[in-house]
Amino acid sequence: MAEPIPPHLVVLTGAGISAESGIQTFRADDGLWADHPIEEVATPEAWRRDPGRVLAFYNARRDQVRRARPNAAHQALAALEKAGLRVSIVTQNIDDLHERAGSRRVLHLHGEILKARSTVDRRMHYPLPRGGIELGDVCDKGSQLRPDVVWFGEAVPHFGEACDLVAEADLLLVVGTSLAVMPAASLLHHAPLDAPCVLVDPEAEALAPPGVTRLARPAGEGVPALVRHWKREGRLWMPEALLA
Ligand code: NAD
């Protein structure tokens, strides 16, 4: 007899899942983003205007990512995958904390800060030179290297793949995202109509669109609590006790 197919949990994560690891969220009042308006560091125009400033900004953020450690939310998702459930993570984050926790199926919608790429050919990837990218570090075609991240205003190359994953979800878990950045936020519309969707975010009450269950807790509490139920029963469901 054929083995039953394990249920498929698709997880959409945003900056909030890494907040308890010490990486500031995008809209937090403190930290790197507050000192650097997006348009000055994370757009193609900023790169054309002052690539040195953009590189310095990402080099500083990269140091922060290297110092950070995966937290209980990253670890719980990795443990669920290890326990045999199908877990696919679609992250808006450019850090590598899901991978360091042990998750193997991670799709980075907005790229990865720990990688460098050519400015003339996005397929040409390079290991990071000397731990950071400096002006004058060039690809094999002689063009300046840049961080392998997707800036505001750029196309999101893996978006189609992410839509396909979400369309296969038995349950969609959304963690730590304000759902303000497009097209990532529109992924929720690709979930099957009968698949429950839950948002774990301290601001869930205000942020969750209609039809989405709200779990207004920090990721490091809310995600492990859900995962404990799912691991115990080997199925994906919404434990009412948690939502009360
Ligand atoms: P956002 O800053 O717009 O929203 C962050 C969300 O996290 C908010 O809804 C906030 O309520 C929530 N949050 C704060 N603390 C939390 C916690 N402990 N647990 C759970 N949720 C918590 O972030 P976004 O929606 O991901 O969009 C911002 C963009 O900035 C993305 O494109 C992302 O690539 C980028 N970004 C990435 C990182 C990273 O890689 N870690 C960090 C900052 C920004």
Could you tell me the pTM of the whole model? Answer: 0.93
- The class (CATH top level) of 25-67+113-149 is alpha beta
Distance 199 CA to ligand 1 centre (A): 13
- To which residue do tokens 């080997």 refer? 234
Distance 177 CA to ligand 1 centre (A): 5
Structural contact between residues 204 and 218, judged by C-beta atoms closer than 8 angstroms: no
For the chain, residues classed under CATH 3.40.50.1220 are 1-23+70-110+156-244
Tokens encoding 169: 């979800």
Of 3.30.590.10, 3.40.50.1220, 3.40.50.2300, 3.40.30.10, the CATH number of 1-23+70-110+156-244 is: 3.40.50.1220
Ligand 1 neighbour 27 (Cβ under 6 A): yes
Mean pLDDT over 36-65 rounds to 92
Query: Beta partners for 63?
Result: none
Give the pLDDT confidence of 26-43 residue by residue, as tens digits: 766 665 667 778 888 999
Instruction: From 11, 13, 24, 25, give the residue whose CB has the most ligand 1 atoms within 8 Å, as the site to mutate.
Output: 25
- To which residue do tokens 């904390």 refer? 97
Pick the catalytic residue: 36, 74, 98, 110?
110
Predicted local distance difference test score (pLDDT) of residue 143 = 96
Mean pLDDT over 57-70 rounds to 93
- To which residue do tokens 């893996």 refer? 158
Give the pLDDT confidence of 121-159 residue by residue, as tens digits: 989 999 887 779 999 999 999 999 999 999 999 999 999
Mean of all residue pLDDT scores within the chain: 92
- The closest residue, in CA terms, to atom 18 on ligand 1 is 218
Q: What is the position in ligand 1's atom list of the atom closest to the CA of 27?
A: 2
Q: What is the DSSP string of 41-54?
A: HSSHHHHHH-HHHH
